[in-house]
Chains A and B, each alone.
Chain A
C-alpha cells in the first residue's frame, strides 16, 4: 500500500527509510524530510495538552497531487512517515492506522533486541520483512 515508509528518530534523522524502487526514489526522501516539519507542527499544536493525551496517529500530513503523506509519532518522538499513492483511493484511514500500528509493533520488537542500540539504523530482518509486506501490496 505504501510507496515509501520511513522511521525517523527523535533527532530527526532517519533510522529506516524504504521506498518502492521507482525511478526517482530521492523524491520520496525529500517528501519525508519535508513532512517532518508538518509533524513537528502537529506535535507542538497538540503539545499543550499532556503528552499522554496526544494521539499517536497524526493522520494526513499533507497531500500532493500524486501522493499522500501520513504521519505517526510514538511517545518517544520517533516518527513514522508513510507515503501513499494518491491513486489508491481504496485506502481508508483505518487501514492506515493499522499499518502504523504494525509498524509500531515491529519497531518495539526491534527495540526489545538487546543488541540494538537506540539510535542505530534499523537492520532487523523481521522489520524489513514486515515493511516489505506492507509495500508489496501496492504493486
Chain B
C-alpha cells in the first residue's frame, strides 16, 4: 500500500497506536471509508490524496465491521459512544481508530473505557466465522501497495490481481452479503474500495461493494467527512506497515498449522507474552503469583468463574494456591484457548505440564527475557522447539492480535493458527526496551483501574500490611484542618499586604474595647487583632453583600477615628497606620480604602480557598486509598476465614 502519502498525522489523537495498529486501523478505515479517503495506498492515480483525512467511514460498513468483531451489541454500543462517533455523528478517522482500539480492548477482555485504549493492545479481530480461516495473507509482498480489488471495481484500483485470490472465496459469500449491502441508503456504504488480505472484513467489504461499485467515486467529497487531514494521512501511512506485519502473522498462522501439534503447545511468542504478563504481576519470575492476584488477573479474561476454577485446577499442579511461572503460562494458555472456543481438556495436556514447560524453556531463558529486550532474547536462546521457527518472522509481527473467536467446531488448523497467532506478543512495542517497561506497567494498570489497584493493595496486603502513609502535617479530619497551615502560605504572601489594609477595618467587637482601653496598650493589640480579625472579618464580610458591610464601615468609622487618634501617637501599624492616618477621611475615602482592603481580603480568600481545595483533594485521595486497603484486607480476611480455628 503506497501509504507513503500518510504524511504527518496532524494533531495526534490521544491514541497511541503502534505501527501495526496504525496500519491495521488505517487500512480498515480506508476500507470502510472507501475511495473518498483516497484509499490507503492503492488508490487510483486520481485518488484524492488531497484529503485523505476527510474521509469518513460509512456507518454501514463500520457497523458490519464492528459486528464482525463478535462483541456483544451492548459493547459495540458502548464503543460507539465512547469513540465519539455518536457525538460527532459520523466515523471520522479519529473516531474509527478509537473504536477499533476499544474493540481490541474489549476483545482482550478489558473494560470498554477510554483508559483501556491507552495501553498496548492486540489488534482487533474481525471474524466472519469459518471463512476467516480461509483468509490468509498469502503474500506479504502483495500487501505492499496493492489492495484487494473488488471484483466490480476493476478500474478503481490496480489491485485486481490480488483480488483474484480472494475472489473465489468472496464470491461464494457475496451473494449472501450483497443483499445486505444493497439496502444501505447512502452511497458512502460503497466507499470501501481498498481492502487488504487477511481481514475477513475485507471479504464482507468487497461483497458490500458489489452493488454499486462506481458509486464509490462519488463520495469523495463526502460531507460527513471532516476529520482533520492530519490524522487521516498518518493512519494511511501506518496502515502499510501494519498490514504488512499482519500478513506476516497470517503467514505464521500457516506455518503453525503445518505442525500437527495440539493447540496446547505454547509457542514462543505466546510464552513471551505470558512471561511478560507474569512479570507484570510478579517481578520475580522464579517466584510465584498468589492466588488472589492471579484470580483478579484471570477474572479479567471474562471467562466464567467455574471455568476459571477448572483452569486453575488444571494448571496449579501442586495445588498450593499459587502459580509459578510455568503454571501461570499453562493457565494463561488454557484461558486463551478457551476464549478461542476450545473445550477445556480433561487433564493438563503434557505440553502444558510445568515440567515440560520448564524443560522447554529453561530457566535461563525465563530470566533472559527479563533483562534483554524480548526480540533479542528470543533468538539468543533458541529452543529446539519447533515453536521457535516462527521467531524471526514473528519479530516482524506488528502486534498481538487476540485470536479470533471463530473456532466453534474445533477446527484444529484454525485454532492452532489462532493460538499461534495469539501471542504475537507486543513484539513491536517491545522491540524498544524503553517501551517494555512502559507497556508492561501501563498494560496492567490500564486494563482496569479498579482491579490493578486491588492488586496493588493485595500485594501490599501480602507483605505485612504497612499502614498508609500518614500525613503528619495535616489532620485526618477535615474539621480539624490546621488553619495555621492554611493561612501560613497566605499570610507570608500577603504579609505585606495583609497588615496595611486590615487596620482599615478594625475588629467589630473592638469598638467597645478600643475606647476604654488605654491607647498605648491597645495599639499593638488592635493592630494585631485587626490584622487577624480583619483578615477573618473581611473574609466573612467581603463576600457578603454590600449592605452588611456598610454598617460595619460606619461602625468602623468611629473606630477608625479612635484608632487614628491612638495610632497617631505611635505608628505601630507601620504603613498600615500611615495609611490609617488620615484626618477625618470622608466616607468615600474610607469606603474606597475599605474596598481595597476588601479586595485584598478577597484575594486572600481565594488563595486560602485554593489551598483548602488542594488539601481537600489530597484528603480525598488518602481516603480512597485507605478505603481500598480496607477492602483488600477484608477480602483477605474472607479468604482466610474458613481455615481459621473456630
Where the two chains meet, the residues of A that have a C-beta atom closer than 8 Å to any C-beta of B are: 10, 51-52, 75-78, 108-109, 111-116, 118-119, 123-126
Contact = CB atoms under 8 A, between A and B. Distances in A.
Interface string B315-337: 01001110000000000000000
B312 A114 contact: yes
Contact of A125 (B291, B294, B310): B310
Contact of B305 (A75, A76, A115, A124): A115
Contacts of B312: 113-115
A113 B306 CA distance: 11
B643 A112 contact: no
Nearest to A113: B312
B313 A124 contact: yes
B295 interface: yes
A115 B295 contact: yes
A118 B642 contact: yes
Contacts of A111: 321, 642-643
Given A113-B313, A124-B313, 10 more contacts: A75-B645, A109-B319, A112-B316, A113-B316, A114-B294, A115-B298, A115-B308, A119-B642, A125-B313, A126-B313
21 contacts: A10-B642, A76-B644, A76-B646, A77-B646, A111-B321, A111-B642, A112-B291, A112-B316, A113-B309, A114-B292, A114-B295, A114-B312, A115-B305, A115-B309, A115-B312, A116-B309, A118-B638, A118-B642, A119-B642, A124-B309, A126-B313
A24 B292 CA distance: 41
A119 B641 CA distance: 11
B617 interface: no
A116 to B, nearest CB: 6
In this complex, the interface size class of chain B, counting residues with CB under 8 Å from chain A, is 20 to 34
Nearest to A75: B645
A110 to B, nearest CB: 8
Contacts of A115: 295, 298, 305-306, 308-309, 312
A113 B642 contact: no
A78 B298 CA distance: 28
Contacts of A75: 643, 645-646
B639 interface: yes
Instruction: Please indicate which of the listed interface residues B319, B639, B641 has the most CB atoms of chain A within 10 Å of its own CB.
Output: B319
Contacts of B295: 114-115
A131 to B, nearest CB: 14
Contacts of A52: 645
Contacts, number: 61
Nearest to A122: B309
| Most A-side CB within 10 Å, residue of B309, B310, B644, B646 | B309
A114 B321 contact: yes
Contact of B309 (A76, A78, A119, A123): A123
B645 to A, nearest CB: 5
Contacts of B638: 118
Nearest to B294: A114
A51 B321 contact: no
B338 to A, nearest CB: 13
A113 B645 contact: no
A72 to B, nearest CB: 16
Interface in B273-323: 291-292, 294-295, 298, 305-306, 308-310, 312-313, 316, 319-321
Contacts of B319: 108-109, 112
B154 to A, nearest CB: 56
Contacts of B291: 112-114
Nearest to B309: A115
Interface string B561-587: 000000000000000000000000000
Interface in B606-645: 638-639, 641-645
Contacts of B294: 114
Contacts of A77: 646
Contacts of B645: 51-52, 75-76
Nearest to A111: B642
A76 B639 CA distance: 13
Nearest to B299: A115
Given A112-B319, A112-B321, A123-B309, A118 B646 contact: no
A115 B646 CA distance: 23
A135 B604 CA distance: 82
Centre residue among B639, B642, B645, B646 by max chain A CB count within 10 A: B642
A98 to B, nearest CB: 19
A51 B646 contact: yes
A113 to B, nearest CB: 5
A126 to B, nearest CB: 5
A50 to B, nearest CB: 10
A76 B643 contact: yes
A73 to B, nearest CB: 11
Given A112-B291, A113-B321, A115-B295, A123 B306 contact: yes
Contact of A118 (B310, B321, B639): B639
Contacts of A124: 309-310, 313
A125 B308 CA distance: 12
A123 B310 CA distance: 9
Most buried by B among A109, A114, A118, A126: A114
Contacts of A126: 313
Contacts of B305: 115
Contacts of A119: 642
* Residue in B312, B313, B638, B639 with the greatest tally of chain A CB atoms within 10 Å: B313
B374 to A, nearest CB: 28
A26 B513 CA distance: 93
Contacts of B642: 10, 76, 78, 111, 118-119
Contacts of A123: 306, 309
Nearest to A116: B309
A119 B638 CA distance: 11
Contacts of B646: 10, 51, 75-77
Contacts of B644: 76
B635 to A, nearest CB: 11
Nearest to A115: B309
A132 to B, nearest CB: 13
A109 B312 CA distance: 11
A118 B321 CA distance: 14
A112 B309 contact: no
A52 B319 CA distance: 25
Contacts of B292: 114
Contacts of B306: 115, 123
Contacts of A118: 638-639, 641-642
A108 B291 CA distance: 14
A112 B308 CA distance: 13
